């Protein structure tokens, strides 16, 4: 597992997604090398030029910081990169460097390469998280707990249903990410104004060869000022982090000391410890997920705001994409990595769930009791009776059952033909779960179907699910 060495990268740069300066630079070099190979294949570069450029295009041979300083002269680092790469090559090979391209071609294509790698990594982590959620859903299909709406106790659910909700979200986010990865990544190659004029009539051929070299689709035409691909990648990442953030927030709430229905975080290595309170075991993975996911909407908003690119090449809007796009991929990767750990190590406490449910004094079952009174009293009268009984039980510190079976409500229940046994049955949470079990089964069935579809896709496209860099 890759964790970079920045002060905050242990939290925000966790996992194998790499959008570091070195990763960007290598992706740009990969693009330049692939272009040289494409030109040679088309007969527009000297024999051996492609191999020579590829051999030279290694990030270890370049000073990213110096290229960054040189970027201040031209507005982006590509011109300095091209000069340095060309300087390392004999004249015949140097002539193939950047031929027909513009700086935006190199950076946009590098962005697509980084996105391809990031999406493969995130997809794998989501698969791990989904597998863990599926295990929780199956193991706790019938584990009764209180459901909560607007942060207040509502009616009973099962922890299996909660986990099934997480599972479905993860599977759907993974499918959405896979759709974007399969259909919306594309090489960028259009030259100065999208015509590839320096290549004469060979431009489309070179573009297709470049795409094949990099393992990226060839678009219908250059997309310099059509930024839909960028925003769709951002939107898919935002969907992933939205799902992960929901799971993490649920866990932080369920893991509160006063609730204690799940346990997350804390291990022999010291994870979960507090700098001030030795007794604490904080849900670090959930907290880290939320730290990542809270930043994503702002980054997506920046990409959306920058999508208006004027005429054939934008002044500033394109530049505004680089850092938020990179940060969005990095944070999505980190959140997915943390999310897989969170769910894999999550432990449920069915006894505590039942204790919390019983401690509610039967109030969550008021809706069910009202349903057995409705045939005799009518819906409104039954609702009002239970509302009044609940209020009195709260005021007197009694259970709903005690109040209902005490006067004056007992008399009204008797008039309605409702017995004490029926009240007890109606107050049993296990009898008021509706289709919870069926929904869990459906979610698990859909998950198995998604796994089978993934396996079939990998079998028919052997490299589609890998996160390897293109050939160098």
| Element containing residue 348 per DSSP (H, E) | strand 347-348
Return phi, psi of residue 281, to 5°: -130, 90
pLDDT grade for 276, boundaries at 50, 70 and 90? very low
Give the pLDDT band of residue 272 (cuts 50, 70, 90). low
CB count, 10 Å around CB of 30? 23
Judged against a pLDDT cut of 60, whether residue 253 lies above it is answered with yes
Ramachandran region of residue 187, left (φ > 0), alpha (ψ -120 to 50) or beta? beta
Q: Report how far residue 434's alpha carbon sits from residue 455's, in angstroms, rounded to the nearest whole number.
A: 34
* Residue 274 is among the residues annotated as catalytic for this protein: yes
Q: 288 Cβ partners below 8 Å, 6+ apart? A: 11, 14, 334, 335, 338
For residues 43 and 54, give the distance between their C-alpha atoms in angstroms, rounded to a whole number: 17
Output the pLDDT for position 2: 52
pLDDT for 112-129, tens place per residue? 999 999 999 999 999 999
Q: Which residues pair with 465 in a beta bridge?
A: none
- pLDDT digits 0-9 by tens, 134-154: 999 999 999 999 999 999 999
Element (H, E) at 388: helix 379-396
The DSSP letter of residue 226 is B
Does the pLDDT of residue 419 top 90, yes or no? Answer: no
pLDDT confidence of residue 398 = 92
CA atoms within 13 A on the CB side of 256: 7
In this structure, the number of other CB atoms found within 10 A of the CB of residue 469 comes to 17
Banded pLDDT at 224 (limits 50, 70, 90): very high
Closest to 19 (Cα-Cα) out of 241, 319, 323: 323
Global pTM value: 0.91
The pairing of beta strand 152-158 with beta strand 262-263: unpaired
Determine the pLDDT at residue 19.
97
Domain segments of the chain: what residues?
Answer: 9-353+451-460, 363-426
The string over 426-458, giving b where at least 16 C-beta atoms fall within 10 Å of a residue's C-beta and e elsewhere, is bbebeebbeebeebbbebbeebeebeeebeeee
Active-site residue, from 69, 274, 294, 448: 274
Report residue 68 as tokens. 């960054």
User: Tell me: the pLDDT tens digits for 452-469?
Assistant: 888 887 777 655 444 444
Query: How high is the pLDDT of residue 385?
Result: 86
Neighbouring CB atoms inside 10 A of 277's CB total 9
pLDDT exceeds 60 at position 269? no
pLDDT classification of 156: cutoffs 50, 70, 90: very high
The β-bridge partners of 263 are 347
pLDDT tens-digit readout, 338-397:
999 999 999 999 999 999 999 989 999 988 988 888 887 889 988 888 898 889 999 999
What residues contact residue 47 under an 8 Å CB cut-off, 6+ apart? 40
22, 148, 313, 392: the active-site residue:
313
CA distances from 189 to 177, 394, 443 (A): 24, 70, 43
Query: What residue spans of 146-283 are helical by DSSP H?
Result: 159-183, 203-214, 228-254
Cα(39)–Cα(93) distance, integer angstroms: 11
Residue 271 pairs with which residues in a beta bridge? Answer: none
Residue 266 pLDDT grade (very low, low, confident, very high; cuts 50, 70, 90): low
pLDDT number for residue 464: 43
Cβ neighbours for 447, distance < 8 A, ≥ 6 positions apart: 130, 134, 167, 168, 171
Query: Of the spans 181-190, 399-408, 458-467, which averages the highest pLDDT?
Result: 181-190
List pLDDT tens digits, range 91-115: 999 999 999 999 999 999 999 999 9
pLDDT for the residue 349: 97
Distance CA(332)–CA(360), nearest Å, equals: 39
Computed over every residue of the chain, the mean pLDDT equals 92
Question: Is pLDDT of 268 > 70?
Answer: no
Q: Look up residue 251 and give its two tokens.
A: 């866990």
Q: What is the domain class of 363-426 according to CATH?
A: mainly alpha
Instruction: Using the predicted structure, report yes or no on whether residue 181 has a pLDDT greater than 90.
Output: yes
Decide if 4 is catalytic: no
- Which residues have CB under 8 Å from 308's CB, separation 6+? 314, 317
Which CATH number describes the domain made up of 9-353+451-460?
A: 1.20.200.10
């Amino acid at each position: 597992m890759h964790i970079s060495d920045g002060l905050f990268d242990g939290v925000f740069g966790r996992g194998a997604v790499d959008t570091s300066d070195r990763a960007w630079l290598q992706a740009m070099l990969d693009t330049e090398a692939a272009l040289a190979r494409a030109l040679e294949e088309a007969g527009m570069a000297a024999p051996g030029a492609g191999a020579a450029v590829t051999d030279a295009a290694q990030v270890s041979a370049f000073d990213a910081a110096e290229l960054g300083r040189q970027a201040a002269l031209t507005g982006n680092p590509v011109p300095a990169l091209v000069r340095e790469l060309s300087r390392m090559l004999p004249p015949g090979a140097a002539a193939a460097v950047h031929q027909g391209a513009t700086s935006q071609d190199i950076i946009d294509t590098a962005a697509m390469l980084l996105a391809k790698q990031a999406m493969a990594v995130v997809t794998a982590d989501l698969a791990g998280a989904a597998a863990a959620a599926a295990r929780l859903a199956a193991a706790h299909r019938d584990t009764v707990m209180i459901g909560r709406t607007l942060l207040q106790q509502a009616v009973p659910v099962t922890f299996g249903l909660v986990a099934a909700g997480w599972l479905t979200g993860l599977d759907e986010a993974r499918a959405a990410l896979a759709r974007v990865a399969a259909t919306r990544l594309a090489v960028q190659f259009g030259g100065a104004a999208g015509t590839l004029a320096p290549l004469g009539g060979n431009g489309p051929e070179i573009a297709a060869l470049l795409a094949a070299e990099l393992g990226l689709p060839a678009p219908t035409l250059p997309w310099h000022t059509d930024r839909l691909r960028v925003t769709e990648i951002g939107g898919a990442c935002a969907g992933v982090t939205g799902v992960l953030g929901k799971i993490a927030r649920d866990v932080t709430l369920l893991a509160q000391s006063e609730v204690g229905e799940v346990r997350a975080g804390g291990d022999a290595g010291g994870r979960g410890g507090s700098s001030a309170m030795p007794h604490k075991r904080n849900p670090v993975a959930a907290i880290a997920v939320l730290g990542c996911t809270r930043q994503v909407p702002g980054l997506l908003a920046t990409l959306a705001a920058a999508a208006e690119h004027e005429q054939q090449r934008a002044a500033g809007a394109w530049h505004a994409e680089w850092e938020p796009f990179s940060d969005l991929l990095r944070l999505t990767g980190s959140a997915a990595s943390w999310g897989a750990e969170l769910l894999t190590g999550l432990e449920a406490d069915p006894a505590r769930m039942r204790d919390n449910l019983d401690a509610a004094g039967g109030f969550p079952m008021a809706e069910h009791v009202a349903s057995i009174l409705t045939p005799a009293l009518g819906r409104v009268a039954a609702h009002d009776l239970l509302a009044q009984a609940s209020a009195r039980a709260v005021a007197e510190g009694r259970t709903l059952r005690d109040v209902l079976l005490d006067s004056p409500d007992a008399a009204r229940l008797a008039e309605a033909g409702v017995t004490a046994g029926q009240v007890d049955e109606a107050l049993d949470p296990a009898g008021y779960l509706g289709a919870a079990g069926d929904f869990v089964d459906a979610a698990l069935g859909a998950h198995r179907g998604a796994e089978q579809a993934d396996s079939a896709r990998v079998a028919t496209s052997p490299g589609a699910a890998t996160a390897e860099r293109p050939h160098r």
